[in-house]
Each structure stands twice: as structure tokens, then as C-alpha cells.
Amino acid sequence: MKLINNSILLGFLFTLGICNSQNTKTAQASLKNNFKGDFYIGTAINASQIEEKDTKADALIRKEFNSITAENIMKSMFVHPEKDRYDFAMTDKFVAYGEKNKMFIHGHTLIWHSQLAPWMAKIKDSTEMKAFMKDHISTIVSKYKGRINSWDVVNEALNEDGTLRKSVFLNTLGENYLIDAFKLAAQADPNVDLYYNDYNICEPKKREGVIKLVENIKTHGGKIDGVGIQGHWRLDSPSLEEIEKSILAYSKLGLKVAFTELDVTVLPNPWDLQGADVNQNFEGSAEMNPYPKTLPDSIQTKLAERYASIFKLFLKHKDKICRVTFWGVHDGQSWLNDWPIKGRTNYPLLFDSNLKPKKAYNSVMRLKELQNKELVKKHALKN
Ligand code: XIL
């Protein structure tokens, strides 16, 4: 009997990944292996990473992540540069990269007011806009039908107070453009998961806006499967309470929750800027770029603690969360080095610019190992 119990326990340890250190060949310690069974761990990849030009980064991506999002190349200005011309060269490579590495592939993004091709921004009336949306969404989604696992159908449609943002889409079609977009995407691929994605949607007013938007799409017969919380966060905000309220509120709508663009800035933000509006840009100064060479250990620790508390919350709600994606592979590549001020040195991710794991990486990994040990203890006590 004792023998059977021991072998059951051993099997249990293996599934938890706890035997990793002794059995490096079976399951290497990595983010994707540690959180297997909880949620996908994703990263946004840039053009050179898609083309496997950076071999060190490529090895890291394959080791640590099991989901990818294209940081830019799937956006309208790149994929649909002229009215009658699509350019799928890079998107084809992106999807092939994900398939080759057996990754969950996320499409970003179909309808967004930023990074539009110049011709799209000039669309003036509803007839033209309807034709654009039908062509754009149907062509792209059906091209990758069955190969892309989820899509950001609409990105950043809301203002901070939860009302709809003025955009070329709202101006020409009114609020029904959201319903149309989700219907067109579902027609093109009925099985792909469809998301609404935005920043700052853990803030109460904007969260209410998301809830209204989702309910409106559903009431009018649109299919929506999830909410993407971008997660461009700071060391001290948003609070864990607001993040938790948001996970609960969105999943109560019957939707999957994904954290789609996670990064935590450590740089000063004198304008109390909360969001991730790519069109907001400010002048730089030495004061605004306090850590040009290295990050002081005290801030490194703060970042590690912030990531640990965020992931602890994610684990608490792992039944509602299907993917956590970082916005970039390593600090050297992060968009936060150039936004909202160009040319700063930021440290928002789990890997430094030499691709080495940071304290924040260890804190996230340790969290999961501790949880596994607790489970084993409980299991041992039961027997
Ligand atoms: C950013 C990219 O990271 C940058 O390279 C690009 O210059 C601007 O866009 N919200 C989004 C992402 O949905 O697409 C944005 O990505 C960051 C904010």
C-alpha cells in the first residue's frame, strides 16, 4: 500500500513540475512550464524576432513562452497599406512561427484608430466605411481561419470616462460599428475567440464602459468571447483590488479574461498619465530618465514584488484567465523605452536587455514553486 502511495505521489510531483531539477530533460523550468495548466504565457514579438534574426532572443522565446502576439505587423497600416492591396508576407511568417513552435496564436488587431493606413483615415461616409470593414475583417480573418486562435476585433474604443472614443469608425458608422465588427469576424471564422481589448479598463468608469459595450454587442446578436486587459501598469497602480474587481466583472459577463500587453513601467510619470495612448508624446530630460545605465536594486526589488503580487492574483483566478502576455520579450526591446518620451531606458519586463532573467522573473517563478510545495504538503498530510 505504501509503495502505491509513493508512486502516486511521484506521479503527482511530475505533473506539478516539481521534479524539474532532477529531470531537466522532461520538463525544463520556464514560465510556460511552471504555469502550464493555469494559463498561456505569451509575448509580443517584433519583425526581427518573427524572422528569427536574433538567435538568442529566439531561443528565449521558445523556452519561456507558449503564446505569441505580433507587436506591429498585423496592424492595418502594415497588412492593408492600400485600398486594393494586402501585404501578408510578415503575417504569414508570424503564423508559421507560432505553428512551428506549437504556440497559441493571437491576432492583434482588426479595428483600431491608431496605426491605420493613411487611406483609411480619409474614409468619409458610412457606405465607404461599411465596405472597408467588410473587406478588411473578412479577408484577414478568413485567410487565417483555423490557424489563429483568438483575435482582438476592436482595440481601444473607449474614452477614460467609459464613453465611446471619437474615431473615424464612430464618426462614419455610429456605435453600431462595434456590433458590425464582431459579427463580421464571427462570420469569417465561427470558431475563433473574439476579444475586445483596451488599456486602463481596471479603472471603475472605463470598466463600466466595457460592460455596456459588451452587453450592447451581445444584445444585438454579436459574438464576443473575451475581454483583453492590456495591463500597461505602474509600480503602484492600478491596485490589486481594482484588477480583481475587473477579472470578476468581465467573467461574470460569461467572457474569458486575458492580460494581453503586460508591462510595468519604473520611470517617472509627472503627468499622472494612466493609459497607453500611443499618440501621447512628451519632451524628454535627464530627470525623466533616471536610470540610463542600470536599475537600482531597491527598484528591482519593488518590481519583483509588484510582479509577484500580480501573478498571485492571476493564480487565484486562473479558472477565469486564459492567457497572460507580456508586451515584449526583454527590456531592451520594450516600446516603453520610446513612449511616452523617446529614448529613455525602462525596465518593465521579466528579462533584461541581455536577455537574462531579472529578480522579477525569479519572484514569479518562485510563487508557483511555493504553491506546488503547498499542494504536495496537503497531499502528504491526507495520506
Ligand atoms: C505599440 C508598439 O509596441 C509600438 O512598437 C508601436 O510603435 C505603437 O504601438 N496598445 C496596443 C499596442 O494595443 O498595439 C501598442 O503597441 C501599445 C499600446
Report the Cα–Cα distance between both ends of the chain, in Å, rounded: 11
User: Can you give the pLDDT at residue 26?
Assistant: 58
Domains of the chain, earliest start first: 31-368 (3.20.20.80)
154 lines ligand 1 (CB under 6 A): no
Tell which one of 74, 335, 337, 342 to mutate to probe ligand 1, the residue whose CB is within 8 A of the most ligand atoms. 335
User: Can you give the pLDDT at residue 283?
Assistant: 75
For residue 283, indicate whether it is catalytic: no
* pLDDT averaged per 10 residues, the chain (length 383): 40 38 61 96 98 97 98 98 98 98 98 97 95 98 98 98 98 98 98 98 98 98 98 97 98 98 93 74 83 97 98 98 98 96 96 98 94 86 81
The neighbouring-strand residues paired with 41 are: 324
Alpha carbon nearest to ligand 1 atom 13, residue: 155
54 lines ligand 1 (CB under 6 A): no
Q: How far is CA 351 from CA 130, 157, 240, 245, 307, in A?
A: 43, 31, 23, 29, 13
At 257, give phi and psi (nearest 5°).
-115, 135
